[in-house]
Structures are given as structure tokens and as C-alpha cells.
Structure 1
Amino acid sequence: MDKPTIVVGVDGSPAGTAALAWAVRQARTTGARVHAVSVCRVRPPAPGPNGPDAFLALHQRELRAALDQVDTTGVEVEQSVPTGSVGPALVELSTDAHRLVLGSHTYHHGPVFVVSPVVTHCLRHARCPVVVVPAEEDGDRLADGARLSAAAHEFR
């Protein structure tokens, strides 16, 4: 039987790198493999130095830079740079995945907590559980301070 796969979206941001680190730790714990993905929104081919090849190369460099920041020792890691709309591309990859892991990219708009459109799309349409990881972890505190939230904290 194939190893379960954890698909992780990497976009060059601190949250994307945190998501990659979480996915690698989870894979190391569970024996899964990691598929690190940076989706490139390429328009139809245009000639010149800033054409599609330049955008693909940029995504490949960002993916490599994120992987260089994470200890992947003992974890099978596949890399890919698919093209297309980010949310739908990640949802498609979730079809055969054990988990889909994304960086949070959230912000507050007054009293409202706003999630990025890509994360929202994946939460609504992914075909596997989705884990959303913040750019920085808050340390060892319980999810809501209640005794019963310890199980959620242990899932990390």
C-alpha cells in the first residue's frame, strides 16, 4: 500500500513555510510523504524575459527556499509547480491526499476575522481534511484554555 500523502501549499510567505514545517513534522510522525506545491498562475504564453518560464522559475526558487528552511530528514518530499488557479489546483491535488495543509493568511477587519480566498476555497471544496497553520505558533497553550481542548492541542 502507498504511503499517505500530505499536500502542502507553499507560496514564499512565512505562513507557507510554517505550513510546510507542520506538514513535514506530521509526515515524520505518521510515516506519510509530503507533496510540496507552489501553484503558478500563468497566463497564456507571452514572449520575453517575463514570460511563463520566468514565473515557473520563480515558483521553483520559492519552493526550494522554503524547503531549505525546514529539516526534511527522513521524510519523502515531492515538489511540483502546477499552473492554474491556486484554489482549484490545490483542491484537485486533495483528491488523493491524506491532508491538505495551508498557511493561514488571515487578518482582522474590525471585529471580523477574514480568511484568504484560497484558504476559503480549499476549506469548502477540498476532498480531504484541511489544516490551516499560522505563520507563528503561540507556544504551548491550550486551544481555548479549557481542559477538554488538550486533545486539539495534542493534534499538532
Structure 2
Amino acid sequence: MEDMDDAGHHRVVVGLSGSLGSLTALHRAAAEARRTGAVLVAVLAWEPPGGEFAYRRSPCPPLPDGGQDRARRRLLDAVESAFGRLPEDLPLRALTVRGPAGWALTQVANRPDDLLVVGAGRRGRLLSPSVARHCLAHAVCPVLAVPRSPLHGVLEDMHRRSTWRLPLHSAAPLR
């Protein structure tokens, strides 16, 4: 899985999903790459709808190709969401990898001198099965688990409060 263009260069590998936590991890990974002069490798893992097991039971060749295309678009959207546009001051490689996220990240960050950056998720969930936990257990390189920003909780609270709900007494009767 090693990208030949990066042979001999220090790499900072970061997992992306498009979530706020992964965008926070991307910003931290970019800062580490700039600080050390490393290549930033953004990775988005994807699986066919229903997962690999369902795909193997009844394969449909167009699905993986469509999944790969959607994954590429999601990856570029996530990078553009984080930076506004592709960063010009930072060597960036964007990879989509078919497979579970934890496995994909540890396969890409396969050199001892790589740095793997992942979002740690919600406080207290690091001990549950997660991408961060898988990476911490299986990576051959240092892993930086970036905690959620305190602003994530504020944004989630604002979203919950702004969700419009129709009061029960004014609901139209079903006919």
C-alpha cells in the first residue's frame, strides 16, 4: 500500500470521514506535517453498501466502482471543508482505501517513521471498539489520537435545540 511518490519522505497519515472530529484531526495532522516538513496523506476508508460480507454473498460489480467514486468525492469534500480549498503550501496525497477504517489506516501508515493521526471520538468512548482504539493497538508507527474540540459539544447542543418539532396538540389528524 505504500505510495511510491512518498518513498523516503516522512509522512503524516490522517483518517477522514467528513465528521467534525475527523476535520479536527486533519487540521492537527496538517500542523504536524508543516512543522516536520512531512507529506500529508489523507485517507478515507470505504466499504460496499451492506459491508464486505454482504457484497461477497451477492457481488454486484458496479457497486464497488460507484463506492470508490463516492469515497473520492467525500474525501475531496472533507479536505475542502477543512481548508476552504486544497492547501498549496503542503504536499498532500489523498487516498481512498476499500476496507474497515482502522485496518485501512494501519495499512497505509505502514512505516515506523510515519505519524498516524486519528480523531479520538467522544470522551469516554475511546475504550469502546473504535477506529482510534484499533489504530492504537495495531499501528507500527506513533499514533496521535486528537480529542474532540469543546466546540463540538456546543454545536451539537445548538443543533438539538434548533431542531423543529411539531407539538402533539397541533398535529393534523391522520385520515
Q: Scaled by the length of structure 1, what TM-score is found?
A: 0.74
Match of 1:131 in 2: 144
2:8 is matched with 2
Distance 1:14 1:115, change over 3 A: farther
**Residues 1:73 and 2:82 aligned together:** no
Q: Which residue of 2 aligns with 1:86?
A: 101
Secondary structure (helix, strand or coil) at the match of 2:99 reads: coil
Identity %: 30
CA separation of 1:103/1:73 partners in 2, compared to 1, >3 Å: closer, same or farther?
same
- Give the conservation status (yes or no) of the 8 Å contact 1:16–1:135: no
Q: How many residues align?
A: 133
The 5 A counterparts of 1:2-151 are 2-42=8-48, 43=52, 44=55, 45-46=59-60, 51-71=63-83, 72-96=87-111, 98-108=114-124, 114-136=127-149
Structure 2 vs 1, CA of residues 31 and 19 (structure 1 numbering), >3 Å: closer, same or farther?
same
Q: CA RMSD in A?
A: 2.3
The SS at the match of 1:81 is strand
Select the structure of larger CA radius of gyration: 2
Instruction: String of CA shifts for 1:69-108, please: whole Å, max 9, x gaps.
Output: 3342310000111112221221111212520011122344
Higher helix share: 2
Distance 1:32 1:41, change over 3 A: same
Gaps of at least 5 residues in structure 1 are 139-156
Q: Is the 8 A contact 2:41 2:93 kept in 1?
A: yes
After TM superposition, the structure 1 stretch with the greater mean CA deviation from structure 2, 59-68 or 30-39, is 59-68
C-alpha displacement at 1:24, in angstroms? 0.9
Three-state SS of the structure 2 residue aligned to 1:100 is strand
Cα separation, 2, equivalents of 1:135 and 1:62: 21
Q: Which amino acid aligns with 1:84?
A: G
- Is the contact between residue 30 and residue 40 of structure 2 (CA under 8 Å) also seen in structure 1? yes
CA contact (8 A) 1:106 1:114 kept: no
Q: Which runs of 4+ in 1 moved over 2 A?
A: 42-45, 69-73, 106-109, 113-116
Question: Distance between the aligned counterparts of 2:129 and 2:39, measured in 1?
Answer: 26
